[in-house]
Structure 1
């Protein structure tokens, strides 16, 4: 019986018609590429710590992780940039002995004219209308009330004393990232209709940010509890060495990493780092991970690093699910506020940051940041020599897609097959494969991947593809798989070699075929 049945017995005697259904040639590879946001929750959060859970709305995030918490704010930034793809949250407990960040807004003089205070906390606009009859105490109370009325802010406010003129701000969550909460006035300036009311004296935290926040989360239990659940795009806002190391180990190429041969889960880590040009260069120079991409942004941006990280991961997920090989450049990070024009990185700074393993952003025509280059932190090989093999997020994203396609084809079409040498004469329909059949399958899959814009150069792929039986294990096939990943249009360089007039008497090759050569003697 040449046809290999999986279920119908070969010795069946009962008539008549029996059928088994085989889906091995019908299915297409499908996988739900989830995002995961990692951040600190408030002490009164509903969700258990260190356990990921799916989130479908901002209301769910606020309830699960606490309004104004780092993680809830990350979801606010995520949903502003991605409303369609599945996302989970991984809440972290406030670190042991951690401290909240604090700051003070002081009212030193009452206004001489009515107006509006345009206060921004963590990039959120908080307008406070004041009258000329308001005292400094009245204004301080109005500021505190306006802040507390916006319950999703990452701070709470209290007037320092009854009738006092100072407003004390305290972060809603405790961690070092609370120091990234900005406090500023008049983000859009007078051109945007924002200016401080005449005569009003108001002071803000000296650095423009809350300070004194301490504590970095411990990720051990949170990472362990992820188990084998697939999470492709992780927004992880902590950029200290220990945190980056822990997530690199989970997602890297070690035996137990998600890119390792045992787990084959794949995935990427997205983060963001605020800093001066010099500080970011030093920071980037010490990094080297193929799976981590950290967006560099200016000190003067009002938006906190954890919201930058969430927005970056959201746009990456949305774009790479559609096509993992397309560059992320020009994708806008919605609701992220850029630094003022004179405080933004210039061309030289951006180019150097990208050359030092940091993703970079530019400002688009809508005055919002957009991804300029999705650089990973990978810069050198195992011997410390410069290497660009993994420098772009799209490289591993494309490779993950290819490997998943290949795995689906092999596991769907050959789940219970016998293995024979090429040239073996066996009946049609037998569940038998040979190295040649497998090679043909891989070439066919490569052609499909090329049609879908993931790879190129089929002829050289065929030339270097090797499929062979293992000399020491007759039940094993070894494959050397050499895909040529498609590249991206990232640089368009033009040499504008202009002329004031072509010299028609010298170079007749430049003259069109319907135009006779210029005759210098006759002038015709």
Structure 2
């Protein structure tokens, strides 16, 4: 290099042959911020019917493709179905995990007795799906049960299979594990001479270990990972994975999503056990949709918002069934959820399930002190994006830079430009006021290292407006 201010990558300083030589420099070409397209990953069980090997990630683009790859009615299939319904333009990868060897499938029964003395319809609701079979005059309970089982098995979007014997329809979850206990059942009939009795899904035990599935996608760089499980062991594995891929040395920031359809107390207790700024739990008690459908829809809607700082309030989750009015969270229950690391869902206009406010399960720091630093899901998503923007700019501008006093000044200048562009998009704010805190300096121990402190005053969401109305007479 013969010039104090200009460096060449391909033109050596030792040229002696006369000529006019030019090289192309593309390091300064990109002056914008990077795109923030969100990639989602589902980690769940398939069935033996599926063609895709377990622990092998694959991109999925349709419900029918998922059915073929992971098996009809499997957790993976139904989560893909829910996710694509909520966000048709989703970039989605799925990795299936094998069931635990000790796993037990949940079962439920519908018991029919008597003989039809008229004409009517038998109704069975599995999750949010209604199945109906006709009962003709003289039909026995066994005949109606056979027809009902055939109806169940003909449906390609149910999480259960059915078998009928002597008027009893036994429903068995397609996937083994405790998750199957969350499949809701309801039945009714209006046929003279026939009676029906229902036993809820129960007995499912031992959900699979999702750690191998997470390991399989460790290097893929997904932004959102949704799981159908709400056991502490599975969520702890998810938390460990997210902490690992988002670590400063890996820098592939991601969040995890799960859902709960039980009670508020159960949800808040579990959230307290997880306490992660990278995991969010959606709560919707009483819905007929299984928790994995809620989780997949919630994750897909998050993925649809590429602005990391923009709140998700009021966004709808189309495939999720509306719970009955008595089961819906009251205002104070929603407040309790938001104070205890749980994202409440509510029913909005048009009887559509929607997000109240998306928060993480993080409520306390390592000392056990209440901490709102990572309360809103937008905070960690914004920090991840700021890190990506700064890293990519430095990588583009200084791929082979020498470390001199001038280098630190140039790096600081690029970081300032990135921050101002982030401010223009309302992702961070008060950049000018925080510039004195932007420090770029040589490391005291490593002569080849440059250190930086980058202030990021992330933009907060407008969640609460308080006004006082003064009466004047």
- The corresponding residue for 1:379 is 363
In structure 2, what is the equivalent of residue 505 of structure 1? none
SS of 1:153 mapped into structure 2: coil
Residue equivalent to 2:341? 357
Per-residue CA distance 1:429-464 (angstroms, 9 max, x = gap): xxxx43222222211111100001101112222132
Match of 2:330 among 329, 346, 358: 346
Offset of residue 185 of structure 1: 3.5
1:391 alignment counterpart? 375
Superposed CA deviations along residues 277-332 of structure 1, whole A, max 9, x for unmatched, are 3333333333311111111221x21111111111111000011x2x1111111111
Equivalent residues of 2:279, 2:361 under 8 A apart: yes
2:212 to 194, 197, 221: 221
* 2:185 corresponding residue in structure 1: 183
Alignment of 1:404 onto 2:407: no
> In the alignment, what sits opposite 1:456?
429
Determine the C-alpha separation between the residues in 1 that align with 2:55 and 2:15: 55
- Asked if 2 retains the 8 angstrom alpha-carbon contact of 1:158 and 1:168, the reply is yes
Moved more, 398-407 or 276-285: 276-285
Aligned residues: 468
* 1:111–1:201 Cα contact (<8 Å) kept: no
Distance 2:383 2:42 in 1: 23
Structure 1 residue 303 corresponds to structure 2 residue 308: no
> 1:190 is matched with which residue?
none
Shift of 1:199: 6.1
Tell me how far 1:200 sits from its aligned partner: 4.5
CA contact (8 A) 1:43 1:94 kept: no
Instruction: For residue 466 of structure 2, give the secondary structure of its aligned residue in structure 1.
Output: coil
The DSSP-based 3-state class of the residue aligned with 2:220 is coil
3-state SS, counterpart of residue 85 of structure 2? helix
The alignment status of 1:21 with 2:21, answered yes or no, reads no
Query: Residue 316 of structure 2 corresponds to which residue in structure 1?
Result: 332
Deviation larger for 169-178 or 31-40: 31-40
- Structure 1 residue 371: Cα displacement: 1.0
Matches of 1:137 and 1:496, distance apart in 2: 68
Kindly provide the CA deviation profile for residues 199-223 of structure 1, in whole angstroms up to 9, marking residues without a partner as x.
6422222xxx411111221233222
Mean Cα displacement is larger for which, 278-287 or 447-456?
278-287
Residue of 258, 272, 279 corresponding to 1:292: 279
Structure 2 contact 280–358 (Cα < 8 Å) conserved:
yes
Task: Say whether residues 1:230 and 2:233 are aligned partners.
Answer: no
* Alpha-carbon distance change, 33 to 281 in structure 1, aligned in 2, over 3 angstroms: closer
Unaligned ranges ≥5, structure 2: none
CA–CA separation in structure 2 for the residues paired with 1:185 and 1:368: 24
The yes-or-no answer on 1:85 pairing with 2:90 is: yes
Distance 1:85 1:169 in 2: 32
SS across alignment from 2:277? coil
Residue aligning to 1:442: 415
CA positional deviation for 1:174: 1.1
Q: Is the 8 A contact 2:103 2:177 kept in 1?
A: yes
Structure 1 distance, partners of 2:137, 2:398, is 81
- Whether 1:100 and 2:91 are equivalent positions in the alignment is no
Q: TM-score, normalised by structure 2?
A: 0.94
Alignment of 1:407-486 (within 5 A): 407-421=391-405, 433-486=406-459
TM-superposed deviation, 1:69: 0.6
The whole-number CA distance in structure 1 between the counterparts of 2:437 and 2:66 is 50
Match of 1:251 among 242, 253, 256: 242
CA–CA distance in structure 1, aligned partners of residues 279 and 453 of structure 2: 27
CA distance in 2, matches of 1:371, 1:132: 48
The residue number in structure 2 matching 1:515 is none
Aligned to 1:173: 175
State the 1:478 CA deviation. 1.5
Segments ≥4 residues shifted beyond 6 Å: none
Gaps of 5+ in 1: 187-194, 422-432, 502-524
Q: Hey, what does 1:241 align to over in structure 2? A: 232
